Structure 1
Amino acid sequence: MTQGTFYLMQSNSTEQDLRHFICQLVKQHYQQQKRVYLHCGTRTQAHEMDDLLWAFETETFIPHNLKGEGLKGGSPVEIGFDQQAQIKDYDILINLADQAPAFAVNFPQIIDFVVADENQKAIARDRFRQYRSMSIELNTQNQNS
């Protein structure tokens, strides 16, 4: 069964804090030799995350690519934004899109986020319900835990 974790971001967290936290999670799971699919809401967001991972902690490179680029078998970390994608062979889905992707059930583990902004909280609640409707077991965890 797919397991999901919603990280509750601190009330004073900025968009930059969230992106840095995402990069830390990607690094952590890559170091555990897990394959990560980073799902973005738009092409622009995917390119931004690609750029952030290139610049993140220059002493520790995280092999990654945009979906459809790079190695034939894909990199340990792949970044995409296609809602209809047939994503396989990844251990973890990190979702940055406003909707829960239908392919989320293909992953053993899902990571999602709740930020302090009231509009974003409402969108996160919708995603929570979407995951639940897919029979995904969910829990919440504070960012600092």
Structure 2
Amino acid sequence: MTQVLFYLMPPVASPAKAKVDSPVATANANPAICEMHLLACQLAQQAFVKQQWVYIHCQDKQQAHAIDELLWQFEPSAFVPHNLKGEGPMTGSPVEIGFDRLGANKSRQVLINLADQAPPFAVNFGHIIDFVANDDQHKAVARERYRQYRGLGVNLQTQDLATHPLN
């Protein structure tokens, strides 16, 4: 059965905490969203280390390019082989980034969803990672995604990063 884990993002202490000069920050003035995108990239890197293939599903082309650029900014020791959907090697990269309704080009174990909706192909993955940003507008959108996932019959869990941070 597909497992969905929602990470509840902690409050952002100050706007200076987010990488203001990053492409994600440029695309999103909201520091909480910048932190969420950075966490998504870090989780993709962790999955890569575990030899899991990942699809990062974005809301649109602009967000997909910003996530692609953010992954390029990782330290060389934490490099994540990745590409935008439709680019890269024929065999695919361990991490693929896209935004269309079709999903990944090949079978992958992990879906990281950054879009406003639960993607229609979500049940094709064994593990889904989603996020709840710490502001009222984004919480409402995340609640709707939670309902969409529940309608798909998947197993839902949450982890509050304010009280249970990642190791």
Structure 2 partner of 1:3 = 3
- Partner secondary structure for residue 102 of structure 1: coil
TM-score normalised according to structure 2 size: 0.82
Contact 1:88 1:106 in 2 (8 A): no
- Partner secondary structure for residue 72 of structure 1: coil
Q: Report matched runs for 1:43-82 at 5 Å.
A: 43-82=61-100
Structure 2 partner of 1:40 = 58
Stretches of structure 1 that go unaligned for 5 or more consecutive residues are none
After superposition, the CA RMSD in angstroms is: 1.3
| C-alpha distance in 2 between matches for 1:59 and 1:85 | 29
**Shift in Å, 1:18:** 1.6
| C-alpha distance in 2 between matches for 1:112 and 1:26 | 12
Stretches of structure 2 that go unaligned for 5 or more consecutive residues are 13-30
Task: Give aligned pairs, total.
Answer: 145
| C-alpha distance in 1 between matches for 2:66 and 2:104 | 23
- Identity rate of aligned residues, in percent? 52
**Shift in Å, 1:88:** 3.8
Larger radius of gyration: 2
Query: Which letter does structure 2 place at the counterpart of 1:78?
Result: E
| C-alpha distance in 1 between matches for 2:146 and 2:75 | 31
Query: Which letter does structure 2 place at the counterpart of 1:139?
Result: Q
TM-score normalised according to structure 1 size: 0.94
**Shift in Å, 1:22:** 1.3
| C-alpha distance in 2 between matches for 1:137 and 1:46 | 27
**Shift in Å, 1:89:** 1.2
- Partner secondary structure for residue 135 of structure 1: coil
Query: Which letter does structure 1 place at the counterpart of 2:34?
Result: Q
| C-alpha distance in 2 between matches for 1:64 and 1:51 | 10
| C-alpha distance in 1 between matches for 2:77 and 2:103 | 32
- Partner secondary structure for residue 78 of structure 1: strand
| C-alpha distance in 2 between matches for 1:105 and 1:33 | 20
Q: Report matched runs for 1:44-123 at 5 Å.
A: 44-85=62-103, 87-123=105-141
Query: Which letter does structure 2 place at the counterpart of 1:116?
Result: N
